[in-house]
Amino acid sequence: MALSQTVAFIGGGNMATALIHGLLEAGVAEPSRLLVSDVRPESLAQLNARYGVQTTRDNRKACACDVVVLAVKPQSFPSLLPELAPWIAASSLVISIAAGVPVHAVEHCLPHARVVRAMPNTPALVSAGATALAAGKLAGAGELALAETIFASVGRVVRVADAEMDAVTALSGSGPAYVFLLAEALANAGVALGLSRETASILATQTLYGAGKLLHESSEAPQALRSKVTSPGGTTAAGIAELEKQGFARAVEACLRAASQRGAELGHAAAAALNAVSEQ
């Protein structure tokens, strides 16, 4: 069922493009109800040609839509939000996908807006994303449901508290990079064992894809699936024993803790910058 609301994207980059593609592909929105605002005319022309969506270089037109998705870099917020503040209607839903910018910082600049913070990840580009949503003070069940409908068009959606977003960023937001790093490591190890680079890369990529698909589609827990591959005294058991000896689980936890801490630092900096701008 298509949305009855109009949706504007301020910023026409990769994530906005992924959401537009997902909404149209899933039949959730009609092109006539989608608007993109961007400073780059070439990006607008490409989006219009590819998807038939409306485009503009005037953010005021975007603010007239029912849903306004802030799809720009976090460093653009101190100049963007004060510009939007006079034009955002109290009835509008504002969705921020800027990493590291807490809900309260957006609300500080847009005090009458119904704000939902979203943390999608890059697999949204292939409709396999993971998105977490956190509601602001004025966003109710209806706003969360609407945001969930939008992001469900490109993958799975969960709801969390804004205080949990640093952990979400560390796990699913940054998570694809960890998987890509594992793919590199597997391929490099395969080459070290005598495989060609092409063969090792194909096997590593397909193994990660297949294991992820199996995990996604299975009703069994990761531990149960792992045990089915791990015969006592076999090759997999030998490999896992070495990973445990090297502190694999501890390294993963330390990785997420470091990423989460950095997310908190960036969030504090973003909030301070937005507070300073709004007080001028």
Greater model confidence, 90 or 210: 210
- Residue 71 identity (one-letter amino acid): A
Cβ neighbours of residue 170 closer than 8 Å, sequence gap 6 or more: 255, 256, 257, 258, 259, 260, 263
Q: Which helix (H) or strand (E) holds 50?
A: helix 41-51
C-beta of residue 49 within 8 angstroms of C-beta of residue 29: no
Q: pLDDT exceeding 70 applies to what percent of the chain?
A: 99
At residue 1, the pLDDT reads 62
In which band, very low, low, confident or very high, does the pLDDT at 106 lie, cut at 50, 70 and 90?
very high
Q: Which of 78, 45, 36 is nearest to 280 (CA)?
A: 78
pLDDT of 171 higher than 80: yes
- What are the φ/ψ torsions at residue 154 (nearest 5 degrees)? -125, 15
- Residue 228 identity (one-letter amino acid): K
Q: Which of 69-73, 143-147, 194-198, 266-270 has the lowest mean pLDDT?
A: 266-270
- What are the φ/ψ torsions at residue 117 (nearest 5 degrees)? -95, 135
C-beta of residue 94 within 8 angstroms of C-beta of residue 113: yes
Q: Each residue of 9-57: pLDDT tens digit?
A: 999 999 999 999 999 999 999 999 999 999 999 999 999 999 999 999 9
Cα Rg for the chain, rounded, in angstroms? 21
